[in-house]
Structure 1
Amino acid sequence: MTLSPVDIFGSRILLAGPGGQVAAPIVEALAGQCELTAVARFSDEKQRQQLEAMGVNTVKGDLADHRSLQACPSDVDYVINLAVVKSGDFDYDLRANAEGIGNLMAHCRSAKAVLHFSSTAVYEYAGQQPREESAPLGDNHRAMFPTYSLSKIAAESVCRFAARQYGIPTTIARLSVPYGNNGGWPFFHLLMMKEGMEIDVHPEAPNFYNLLHSSDYIEKLPYLLAAASTEVCTVNFGGSEAVSIEQWCEYLGELCGLQPRFRDNPQAFGSLQIDTEKMHALIGPTKKDWRQGLREMVEQLAPELLLA
């Protein structure tokens, strides 16, 4: 039996990292339901103005600097952390990603729940074996993002410390491959196919992931908040059905009359399928079929590529 979702209507939410591809649909959905404050460095002032036009309160702050968070409200109901830094500078990325969630939680100690988005990139490569939450961790994404996996692992540790130290109910959601009508990894593959570029894949094929549509991760947010505990609930978060890079590229090719060209590369990200048993028990299965989701994505972003 799945959890009952929290009622976020009218609640006060502090969201860190509103500018990313994953965050954009969440911000749009929450803006009309609650009192939403977004904190980010806001190097692009236009983005900040767009958020405020949606009714979102904004604070210019850097999670790596706890002093810059003083302008954030501290008496919020919920904290959602989607912020991520991938500069390649280990010192700064660890401060922003790992110390950053600690700074955020220390500032919002009275929150009813914190939802920290991590990544399945924390898992050690293990071929096609679905990763349970207890699976070994490793430096998975080093070849492309040197600091990413390590800073995500460090952030989880700081998040657990803060939850127990301050008594804040917390959920860590390890995100698989998010996508939607604003893009994602499959859309990059489509653009590569359009240009006739080769798509690097790990030679131990097929390379499985769990595509997670934006409509599903928005719908599951209140359930993830409901799962929060001071002992910290760590859960995989992806689509209920595993699908390989090869499969989704072939399907995109069918939709658009394109032929994917794959190139074996041992340095490419290998299969990262998740075990969904705990996720299903807590928050239930996802609803969007990956084929339908990919078609809707192409209809929205590149309708000219679709075959008649």
Structure 2
Amino acid sequence: MTATPDLLRRDGFPDHFTDVDDLEEFMSRPTQELVDDLAEITGDFIVLGVAGKMGVTLARLLKRAAPGRRVIGVARFSDPDARAKLEGWGVQTISCDLLDRDRVEALPKVENVIYLAGLKFDSDGRENFMWAMNTLAPAYVAEAFAQSRIVALSTIHVYPWSDPARGGVDETTSPRARPGEYANSVVGRERIFEYHSLAHGTPGRNVRFVYAVDTRYGVMQEIADWVWNGVPIPLETGTVNLMWQGDAINHFARLLARTKVPTTPINIGGPELVSVRNLAEQFGEIFGKPPVFTGVEGECLVVNCEQASAELGHPYVSVRTMVRWVAEWTRSGKPTIGKPSKFHVRTGSF
């Protein structure tokens, strides 16, 4: 008999996390809804771009939710620690450059694909590589896995600026060119998956994801760090969507049971729009350090996630709980990943 996994529930949350292992164990807990959804579909799983900030916990989550099925993690694996972690959790790993068409074609053909690969940061001077990662690699994957389900990570950067008072942009707004080559390249990524979905009848979803919250990185961790160190907090991008990473990866995986032909977009994020000023003030109260602000709030990238709430339900972890966890992690000096989200950057170049 297959053992019942430790589940993410809506209560009984820890007060804090003692270390990275404790954090990752909690963050990779499946919900009962995920266990049930995966039981409704057949086949094994492959996570492409598994070595990134979300992929490691996502692959572990899949293995915990469906322990009797194979989970394969694919990446270049420049960080051997990520590969060792995955294999220790029972995830099979394969080293592969997704720009090598022959090697992509040689990957095991499983029924369920989650695509996390791409390039956003530090691409100045190598824009051609960014475009290749964000359009060519998806094309090779879509060709190789034409008979699979494909849930592909996209971004809210395909959307225009909007007024937060109007509730954010929903999926009816078509992706469009924006300042900066990154945004344009990820519009290309979505269109590539759409084209192949139509051409081959491949079921899929394009996940227009907002900002993940992990105590080690992300918008909330950056704001907490700024408050803790007295760094002025820019307010021009004064409203954000946030979601606990454990909730986010549960929703990504659940979309495998909700793929469509042709593939369609869905905004994944918390149901509320969150004020950067208010977050900073909450951290300031906890730390006893009043935050310092610069600039004024204006239009920004915020999305409406009502469709995701209707399909998948609300996230389990609230903004207030995330604030408590991030504040404790920051105040106690626990390690961070050191890869800022650059959520406040408005030029389109990250």
TM-score w.r.t. length of structure 2: 0.76
Query: Contact (CA 8 Å) 1:22, 1:179: kept in 2 or not?
Result: no
Percent identical across equivalent pairs?
A: 23
Query: Contact (CA 8 Å) 2:48, 2:115: kept in 1 or not?
Result: yes
Q: Where does structure 1 lack aligned partners over 5 or more consecutive residues?
A: none
- Note if 1:246 corresponds to 2:277: yes
Q: Where does structure 2 lack aligned partners over 5 or more consecutive residues?
A: 1-32, 335-350
Counterparts of 2:101 and 2:244 in 1: how far apart (Å)? 33
Secondary structure of residue in 1 paired with 2:71: strand
- Note if 1:132 corresponds to 2:170: yes
Give the corresponding residue for 1:119: 155
1:119 shift after superposition: 0.7
Deviations 1:150-209 (A, max 9, x none): 12111000010111112110011100111134432210222222222122221xx7x222
Cα 1:182–1:173, aligned 2, differ >3 Å: closer, same or farther?
same
Cα 1:10–1:48, aligned 2, differ >3 Å: closer, same or farther?
farther
Secondary structure of residue in 1 paired with 2:93: strand
TM-score w.r.t. length of structure 1: 0.85
Corresponding letter in the other structure for 2:127: F
Give the corresponding residue for 2:99: 64
The root-mean-square deviation of aligned C-alpha atoms, in Å, is 2.7
Match of 2:258 among 227, 234, 256: 227
Secondary structure of residue in 1 paired with 2:130: helix
1:100 shift after superposition: 1.3
Give the corresponding residue for 1:302: 330
Match of 2:184 among 122, 127, 150: 150
- Note if 1:109 corresponds to 2:143: no
Counterparts of 1:72 and 1:55 in 2: how far apart (Å)? 18
Query: Contact (CA 8 Å) 2:210, 2:242: kept in 1 or not?
Result: yes
1:293 shift after superposition: 1.7
Query: Contact (CA 8 Å) 2:215, 2:221: kept in 1 or not?
Result: no
Secondary structure of residue in 1 paired with 2:73: strand
Counterparts of 1:165 and 1:55 in 2: how far apart (Å)? 35
Deviations 1:235-279 (A, max 9, x none): 11100121122222221222222222222289xx95322122322
Secondary structure of residue in 1 paired with 2:52: coil
Secondary structure of residue in 1 paired with 2:37: coil
Give the corresponding residue for 2:26: none
- Equivalent residue pairs, number: 293
Task: Point out the structure with the larger strand share.
Answer: 1
Query: Contact (CA 8 Å) 1:251, 1:291: kept in 2 or not?
Result: no
Give the corresponding residue for 1:46: 81
Query: Contact (CA 8 Å) 1:64, 1:97: kept in 2 or not?
Result: no
1:286 shift after superposition: 2.1
Deviates more, 1:115-124 or 1:61-70: 61-70
Counterparts of 1:170 and 1:137 in 2: how far apart (Å)? 17
1:9 shift after superposition: 8.9
Query: Contact (CA 8 Å) 1:122, 1:138: kept in 2 or not?
Result: yes
Counterparts of 1:8 and 1:147 in 2: how far apart (Å)? 39
Counterparts of 2:233 and 2:177 in 1: how far apart (Å)? 22
1:284 shift after superposition: 2.2
Cα 1:42–1:133, aligned 2, differ >3 Å: closer, same or farther?
same
Corresponding letter in the other structure for 2:263: V
1:303 shift after superposition: 4.8
1:15 shift after superposition: 0.5
Corresponding letter in the other structure for 2:79: D
1:1-308 equivalence runs, <5 A:
5-7=37-39, 11-32=43-64, 33=66, 34-74=69-109, 76-86=110-120, 87-88=123-124, 89-111=126-148, 113-128=149-164, 129=166, 130-135=168-173, 137-139=175-177, 142=179, 146-202=180-236, 207-264=238-295, 270-299=299-328, 301-304=329-332
